[in-house]
């Protein structure tokens, strides 16, 4: 089932077109990444998804409800964590959640289940002012999960977290998506984090989605491969630069770094052997999402 459907979305501020006819959808239980540089249109898109601003054209449907026509029904299915969540620091974690539960008429049993889901059982009765940033992020996530939303929107959720906090947060999000069957939309600048967390990724730049691609086994299909080559003798790099399927060649600390068309490494090895190059070592440098990001968003590998 499609939890989120975005079709032909456009948004202008004054004469400047911020979002230019973007479309994508997210399935139940899927974690969907939204990647792009500053000013690409990520925040504007998120603000439209949560109903803070309205598009000039296009539609947003959440669980089949049109966000413009059935705003209340659509937003009832949404939970969101936008950067650092607002919490009452003088209350305990449990008291914060119970405040929300009372307003939304959520049973205490659901509160306890959510506390367990985000792994805060041992610290839930401490004052929030004693929480680390990672614990505050967990509590914010718990608050967004209380109403059992079908769509969870996370905007830069790991900002300021240390590596341990990022790993913990990742596992909580994966668990929530799997156990509750939620669709998760996550916008982040941390490429490696998106690669490890997401099932699919949309690349956006200048208000346009360049591509929507699958992440398989923490890696992605790329247009080019990057290999490192070490030879026993120095050579003129122009001999390699003139090969048609090679994009670029440069010397690095590890050897000769070559960017070539995807799946042409065997051809290069044959060429080297046939022309009596003495190969000491050759291996592929796997950059996955980082490499694909540079291809689509930055226009090439730096």
Residue 235 is part of a domain; what is its CATH number?
A: 3.30.70.920
39 and 145 assigned to the same domain: yes
**pLDDT tens digits, residue range 229-268?**
999 888 888 889 889 999 889 888 889 989 888 889 999 9
Task: Specify the CATH number for the domain of residue 196.
Answer: 3.40.50.300
Q: With 70 as the cut, is the pLDDT of residue 161 above it?
A: yes
144 and 163 assigned to the same domain: yes
pLDDT computed for residue 219 by the predictor: 65
131 and 62 assigned to the same domain: yes
Q: Please indicate, yes or no, if residue 297 is contained in any of the structural domains.
A: no
Token pair in block for residue 17: 């077109």
Tally of structural domains, the chain: 2
Q: With 80 as the cut, is the pLDDT of residue 291 above it?
A: no
Helices 133-145 and 93-104: crossing angle, nearest 10°? Answer: 20
Q: With 80 as the cut, is the pLDDT of residue 228 above it?
A: yes
83 and 190 assigned to the same domain: yes
51 and 118 assigned to the same domain: yes
The share of the chain scoring above pLDDT 70, in percent, equals: 94
203 and 122 assigned to the same domain: yes
User: Sorting pLDDT into bands at 50, 70 and 90, what band is 84?
Assistant: low
Token pair in block for residue 246: 């090679």
Q: Please indicate, yes or no, if residue 236 is contained in any of the structural domains.
A: yes
Task: Tell me the mean pLDDT in the region 72-90.
Answer: 85
193 and 234 assigned to the same domain: no
Mean pLDDT of the chain: 87
pLDDT computed for residue 119 by the predictor: 85
**pLDDT tens digits, residue range 171-218?**
888 888 888 889 999 998 778 778 888 999 999 999 999 888 888 766
37 and 165 assigned to the same domain: yes
Task: Tell me the mean pLDDT in the region 46-74.
Answer: 94
- Alpha-carbon gap, residue 60 to 57, rounded angstroms: 10
Q: With 90 as the cut, is the pLDDT of residue 127 above it?
A: yes
Rg (Cα) of the chain, in Å, rounded? Answer: 23
246 and 122 assigned to the same domain: no
Residue 146 sits in which domain range? 2-214
Q: Please indicate, yes or no, if residue 245 is contained in any of the structural domains.
A: yes
Task: Tell me the mean pLDDT in the region 134-149.
Answer: 88
Q: With 60 as the cut, is the pLDDT of residue 302 above it?
A: no
């Amino acid at each position: 089932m499609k939890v989120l459907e975005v079709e032909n979305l456009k948004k202008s501020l004054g004469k400047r077109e911020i979002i230019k006819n973007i479309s994508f959808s997210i399935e139940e239980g899927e974690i969907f990444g939204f990647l792009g540089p500053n000013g690409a249109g990520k925040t504007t898109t998120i603000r439209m998804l949560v109903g803070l601003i309205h598009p000039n054209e296009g539609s947003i449907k959440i669980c089949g409800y049109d966000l413009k026509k059935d705003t209340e029904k659509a937003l009832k299915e949404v939970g969101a964590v936008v950067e650092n969540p607002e919490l009452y620091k003088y209350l305990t974690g449990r008291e914060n959640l119970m405040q929300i539960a009372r307003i939304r008429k959520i049973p205490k049993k659901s509160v306890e289940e959510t506390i367990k889901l985000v792994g805060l059982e041992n610290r839930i009765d401490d004052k929030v002012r004693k929480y680390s940033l990672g614990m505050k992020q967990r509590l914010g996530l718990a608050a967004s999960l209380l109403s059992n939303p079908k769509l969870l929107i996370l905007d830069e959720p790991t900002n300021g977290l240390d590596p341990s906090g990022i790993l913990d947060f990742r596992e909580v999000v994966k668990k929530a998506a799997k156990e509750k069957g939620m669709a998760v939309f996550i916008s982040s600048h941390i490429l490696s984090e998106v690669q490890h967390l997401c099932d699919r990724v949309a690349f956006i730049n200048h208000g346009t989605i360049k591509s929507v691609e699958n992440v398989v086994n923490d890696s992605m299909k790329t247009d080019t491969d990057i290999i490192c080559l070490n030879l026993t003798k120095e050579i003129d790099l122009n001999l390699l630069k003139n090969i048609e399927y090679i994009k670029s060649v440069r010397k690095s600390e590890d050897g000769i770094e070559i960017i070539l068309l995807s799946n042409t490494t065997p051809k290069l090895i044959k060429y080297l052997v046939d022309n009596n190059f003495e190969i000491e070592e050759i291996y592929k440098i796997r950059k996955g999402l980082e490499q694909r990001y540079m291809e689509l968003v930055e226009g090439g590998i730096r």
